Amino acid sequence: MGRINDMLTRHQWLQFAIGWVLAAGIVLLVFPGRSPVATLLRVVLYSAVAIGMAVTRRRREKAAAGRRPPPGARRTTWSRSTT
């Protein structure tokens, strides 16, 4: 068991891969008529979208707390004269 823990500690990508395979296995148990490869790709895609949404939400929360400007916001530290 110690070897497995050491390997998972050194290779974090392996933890994600095992998680995706386990999630795909659960989805295959719930929906058995799907292709295993298509299910694995769907699980990976959905998890990537979920991670992107979580990162975006966290950035907006930080911006609302005043830590940094929201994405796409204009900086107001300087302005050009239009006259």
pLDDT tens, 11-44?
Answer: 888 888 888 888 888 888 988 888 888 888 888 8
Does a structural domain hold residue 78? no
For a pLDDT cut of 70, what percent of the chain falls above it? 80
Residue 75 pLDDT exceeds 70: no
Does a structural domain hold residue 52? yes
- Looking at the structure of the chain, the number of domains it has is 1
> Which single residue is written with the structure tokens 């490869």?
37
Does a structural domain hold residue 35? yes
Does a structural domain hold residue 72? no
Domain limits for position 47: 2-64
SS3 60: helix
Does a structural domain hold residue 22? yes
* Residue 80, pLDDT score: 58
Global confidence as pTM: 0.55
Does a structural domain hold residue 69? no
* Residue 33, pLDDT score: 87
Does a structural domain hold residue 13? yes
> Which single residue is written with the structure tokens 């204009």?
74
Amino acid identity of residue 6, one-letter, is: D
Give the pLDDT band (50/70/90) at residue 70: low
Tokens of residue 41, six digits: 């790709």
